[in-house]
Structure 1
Amino acid sequence: MSDVMNRRGLTIKGLLELEPLEGARLVAGYTNVNQVISRVNIVGSPDVLNFVRPQEFMMTTGYPFRDHVEELVDLLPQLKEKNVAGVGIKVQRFIDEIPQSFIEKANELHFPVVEILPTAVFSDIVRVAMEEVFYQESEHLMTLYNRVQECTKQMAAGKEIRDVIYHLEELMGNPVVVYDFDRTIIAPLFEDVLEEFELRKTVQALETKAGSGIRGIKIRDETFSCIAIPLTSETTLSHTAFIACIETNYELTEVDCLTIEKMSTMLNMELANIAARKQIEKRYMNQFLKDVLLGEVTSDVDMEIRTQSLDLDFERKWYQVFIMDVKDKGALKEEFTYMVSTLSKAIKGQLYGTVLLGEFTFLLIDHTKKSLERSFGLIQKEVDRFTSYKNMQESYTLCVGDHVHDIKNIQESYHKAVKVNTIRQQYTTDKKVIHYQDLHLYRLLYLIPEGTEVIQYTEEILGVLERASKKSVNYIETLEAYFQANRNIRVTAETLYTHYNTVVYRMEKISSLLNVDIDDPEVSLELQVALKLRKMNQSQMKKVKPLAQRKYS
């Protein structure tokens, strides 16, 4: 497509190609040769500024200035300020030649000046130029109409939004990006070129520019012009949904901007309908997931009917349930749908998420046990990336249930994940991913029923340390650090930020208070069990705190 046809309206360059202007030449303002002309006017009065309009090409014989040519130079800044497209001066009639001072000033202002031959007929120039303007504008309007019609037909035919956007990219010759109401990114061309983090960064930049006209955006150290239009004016969303076009291949034209504007209106309605359908499907899906996880799907027939109605493929697969526990549940709740969508894109298997009994619960499905494990590994990496991006990286734990191969056993995987989440909260660990087998001794201690006997047991063994502890010295903390460091005094000192000799003294004091040899295997085992029981019964320990604080003679 030529520069003339690639812009809405006639340009200075295109004007010079018209037959009535044969022999005319551009003598100044070369950098603005593609300045758009929306109309052509002939000015014969000294009051030029009262008759000119923006994007207008002004023609004159120079008659008003024949005796005061220098006034032409003073007029240039005012014409520039009024956004006049350029000026054409017919020479060898009233002005022999265009003054050099006028040309120099025009070049300084990047203002196009055309020297017109005395044989040219102004009326012919106006007629032909305006015909060209109308023709090109009608061409662009037809282009806009055809683009909108094409996309409307595809939507009416039930095409996916991604397919519609891909077709729009083909029509426009530039990448198009849609950031919808669910924070889903649709960018067919960019998805093949950019890494996922680059695409997210680009969307983030486009979001800040939505609704502000043509702006610059940086992608891989290159700056491109772009136009981003919000899809809705509602403020209920926590983000700005938009459609954007980026000038990577062809120059953005006004018809491109109008296309994006028209598409924003169409997409707003279409996405609103899709969102309403998704909301209904989401409610049914959430209820189905909860029933599957809790084992409340009553029969094979019920399972078949519900999976078919939701278009789910659950048959002959491997399944695994995991719970994501975070400190700030409110922050994740706002991002949960987006997070599930993001994690799903990272794997080949299926991933579903729901909030069950206040916990963020996921069901992972894949064809084989090996592919299931591979998918979970990818999810771990994606969770790290997502939580890092959302500043939640240090506050989450994935509590993982067993792999199961029967759809009826999904509830067993869920119950195991719940058990892991419950038990792991009873002790300190820096692991981000915990399977049931990682709980070790806590699996057995968890089975011991809560009661006064457990409290009395920990009191009998550790009570003397509780009573002897002061603000500056915590013997329980020292003993726990000692065992966690595999009974290494130096590592214990580093963990407690305490001097080596201080830890040696404390351990001797603990042995003295307990009247035992801590290095004895049986004693060491009993102390560690008591410490773990104490952690698992914090609330019960609080009840006996007055007893622990009593003074003994």
Structure 2
Amino acid sequence: MLLKQLLELPILKNSKTLTGSIGLDNPLESVMVLEAIDIEKWSKQHQLILTSFYALTDASMDQVRLFFKTMRKIGVSGLVIKVDRLITMIPEWVIELGVEYCIPLIKVHQDVSYEAIMLAVYEPLLNHQSHLLRTYYEVRQRFMKVERNRSSFDQIMQEFFQLIEKPCFLSIPHLDIHINKGTTFEDYVVIQQYPMKNIEFTKNRYEYLHLFSHKNNQAITAVKVDILNPFNDLCTLLVYQKDAQIPESKVMIIENVVDVIYERLQMEYLQKKERYTRLNNLADAILQNTPTDLNELTLLLEEANIEQYDFYQAIAFSSTNFEDKQRKDLVLQKLHSLRAKHIFFEHHNYLIFLYNFQHASQQITKQTLSKLFDFSILEKEKASLILSEVKRKQAIKEILPECLDSIRFNRHFYLAPILNYSDLGVFSMFIKGHQLDNIQQIIPTGLYHLWENEEDLFLTLYTFFISNRNYKKTAETLFLHSKTIRYRLNKIEQLLEIDLTNPIQLVNYEVGTYLLELKKRSQSK
């Protein structure tokens, strides 16, 4: 209700507005009788204050001015002053304060009771509240049928569209759901956005969006609400309309559909979580606790829907940022896209995908993964993407050990972010025998000393080996003169007591040099 609507009622037909048209459009939400002028302690915005001038007679002009100033600050909608036989005139200076602080002053006669004014204000407010609650209840009854039938998001939005009678749009990116009902507004851009004032009986936060289409040279308003959901993703509902504001009764309809969508999201989440747990356990049973009975394994593969073809290959992923959910979801999305037939399970510090395909030639390669993943990011995270060997069903039990062994080796001796199990070569024997820590025993003591204390000499020796023992290429790689390289290598021969021209003698030293370089790379990462 607005103040001017109150003044049009018969009960106030003999009242007089002393401040002209000031504040007549102020909304009224409550009424209070003035007992003391310290209204900052009890008054509130959009309130109508009732008083007799007696409440102000003992106050000084400064106190009354402060009283008006405080009313203005709070947002009081108006001041009704009741006169009686003792005080029939309101001082001109009080009226001037009302004009100065934009507080409407209404004079009423003594025969108009405070109770009558309160009833005049509260009756339409209560009727309006009753209407909103009734609307909410009726809409809720309709949506309960939708919930009982476990309707899809599209069916929910269709019911909502019929009730709201306005174009609407629902976006749930996590489920790849984008539903539009009624006119679409794809060419419109947001030019202004601000919160909608809360109304009674709402628990969600709404925003108004002003949109404009340069193509159509048209503007429109949208009501936006973000729906909380267990997927921790942005779920948005939009309702479009031509008017700048939406009726409160329509907001009650939106409140209901938000509840229904939230309940449906909860159910989707629980179902997805249950399915995830079931498939995770199933993948665990196939890869980690592989049955020795081939028939039992076949049944598990059939349940996972990956028994159609003869060949299997796994990809394992491990990273220092494994707990980063957003990063993990991105990796999952990419690995999901590789093959239609797959299953995966997640451990506390790695995840592994098992793929099923028809021909061995269809195996996933390092080249395929290098197109999907950024090497620099993988190296920064000290990530490992491990490709197992291609296996038939009878050898599935070998897949997980291959992947975990490769991850373990890459943590100690960092080869590369993307590895085939076959890249480990002879070192796989140490891992299989759980002798990874003993690999260092094959490194000659003198070479270890060189690595720890003579960095330039070790780098020269390593570069010499990776340059196929070519002096000129070693010098070019290190940007040094070939005489410097020969001098350093002669010194290395003396320190290590070896002959660099004897290939048999150099086997342990070359392997040891590579291991120490990988260990250094692992430590730096």
TM-score strictly above 0.5: yes
Amino acid in structure 2 at the alignment position of 1:288? L
CA contact (8 A) 1:354 1:361 kept: yes
CA contact (8 A) 1:397 1:433 kept: yes
Equivalence for 1:322: 315
- Distance in 2 (alpha carbons) for counterparts of 1:297 and 1:150: 55
Amino acid in structure 2 at the alignment position of 1:293? L
Equivalence for 2:407: 421
Equivalence for 1:507: 489
Amino acid in structure 2 at the alignment position of 1:528? E
After TM superposition, give the deviation of residue 354 of structure 1 in Å. Answer: 2.0
- Distance in 2 (alpha carbons) for counterparts of 1:156 and 1:416: 49
Measured against aligned partners, the alpha-carbon deviations of 1:14-34 in whole angstroms (never above 9, x if no partner) come to 76898988998974459xx5x
Equivalence for 2:99: 103
In structure 2, which of residues 364, 373, 376 is the aligned counterpart of residue 380 of structure 1? 373
In structure 2, which of residues 120, 123, 137 is the aligned counterpart of residue 145 of structure 1? 137
Amino acid in structure 2 at the alignment position of 1:139? H
Amino acid in structure 2 at the alignment position of 1:396? A
- Distance in 2 (alpha carbons) for counterparts of 1:473 and 1:313: 52
In structure 2, which of residues 376, 379, 383 is the aligned counterpart of residue 396 of structure 1? 383
Measured against aligned partners, the alpha-carbon deviations of 1:189-227 in whole angstroms (never above 9, x if no partner) come to 89x999xxxxxxxxxxxxxxxxx9969999xxxxx9998
Equivalence for 2:287: 293
Equivalence for 1:209: none
Equivalence for 2:420: 435
1:479 matched to 2:461? The reply is yes
Q: 1:99 and 1:269, CA in 2 relative to 1: closer, same or farther beyond 3 A?
A: same
Measured against aligned partners, the alpha-carbon deviations of 1:113-159 in whole angstroms (never above 9, x if no partner) come to 377999xx999976665443223222322343355445544333224
CA contact (8 A) 2:317 2:385 kept: yes
1:446 partner SS: helix
Measured against aligned partners, the alpha-carbon deviations of 1:393-433 in whole angstroms (never above 9, x if no partner) come to 523211123567x777765655553454355456333x322
Amino acid in structure 1 at the alignment position of 2:462? E
- Distance in 2 (alpha carbons) for counterparts of 1:168 and 1:328: 42
- Distance in 2 (alpha carbons) for counterparts of 1:407 and 1:19: 90
Equivalence for 1:284: 278
CA contact (8 A) 1:57 1:88 kept: no
- Distance in 1 (alpha carbons) for counterparts of 2:474 and 2:5: 85
2:414 partner SS: coil
- Distance in 2 (alpha carbons) for counterparts of 1:372 and 1:13: 76
- Distance in 2 (alpha carbons) for counterparts of 1:217 and 1:519: 80
Matches within 5 A, 1:533-548: none
CA contact (8 A) 2:316 2:386 kept: yes
Q: 1:19 and 1:324, CA in 2 relative to 1: closer, same or farther beyond 3 A?
A: farther
1:37 partner SS: coil
CA contact (8 A) 1:72 1:102 kept: no
2:388 partner SS: strand
Amino acid in structure 2 at the alignment position of 1:428? Y
In structure 2, which of residues 26, 29, 32 is the aligned counterpart of residue 38 of structure 1? 29
TM-score, length-scaled by structure 1: 0.55
Amino acid in structure 2 at the alignment position of 1:354? F
CA contact (8 A) 2:314 2:354 kept: yes
After TM superposition, give the deviation of residue 523 of structure 1 in Å. Answer: 7.8
After TM superposition, give the deviation of residue 527 of structure 1 in Å. Answer: 4.7
Measured against aligned partners, the alpha-carbon deviations of 1:506-540 in whole angstroms (never above 9, x if no partner) come to 333124445767588888777534534778999xx
After TM superposition, give the deviation of residue 48 of structure 1 in Å. Answer: 6.9
Amino acid in structure 1 at the alignment position of 2:388? G
Q: 1:278 and 1:230, CA in 2 relative to 1: closer, same or farther beyond 3 A?
A: closer
- Structure 1 unaligned runs (5+)? 1-9, 195-211, 219-223, 233-238, 539-553
Equivalence for 1:54: 44
Amino acid in structure 2 at the alignment position of 1:361? I
CA contact (8 A) 1:445 1:533 kept: no
Q: Identity rate of aligned residues, in percent?
A: 14
- Distance in 2 (alpha carbons) for counterparts of 1:366 and 1:147: 51
1:362 matched to 2:348? The reply is no
After TM superposition, give the deviation of residue 289 of structure 1 in Å. Answer: 0.4
Amino acid in structure 1 at the alignment position of 2:131? E
CA contact (8 A) 2:229 2:235 kept: yes
1:434 partner SS: strand
Matches within 5 A, 1:206-285: 281-285=275-279
CA contact (8 A) 2:309 2:357 kept: no
- Distance in 2 (alpha carbons) for counterparts of 1:163 and 1:510: 78
- Structure 2 unaligned runs (5+)? 187-202, 210-221, 521-525
- Distance in 2 (alpha carbons) for counterparts of 1:255 and 1:297: 65
Equivalence for 1:86: 78
1:395 partner SS: coil
- Distance in 2 (alpha carbons) for counterparts of 1:132 and 1:59: 18
Amino acid in structure 2 at the alignment position of 1:58? L
RMSD: 6.7
Amino acid in structure 1 at the alignment position of 2:286? V
1:528 matched to 2:523? The reply is no
1:488 partner SS: helix
* Equivalences, count: 460
Q: 1:526 and 1:303, CA in 2 relative to 1: closer, same or farther beyond 3 A?
A: closer
CA contact (8 A) 2:226 2:237 kept: yes
2:345 partner SS: strand
CA contact (8 A) 2:306 2:356 kept: no
- Distance in 1 (alpha carbons) for counterparts of 2:339 and 2:96: 71
After TM superposition, give the deviation of residue 291 of structure 1 in Å. Answer: 2.7
CA contact (8 A) 2:342 2:353 kept: yes
1:354 partner SS: strand
1:54 partner SS: coil
CA contact (8 A) 2:56 2:64 kept: no
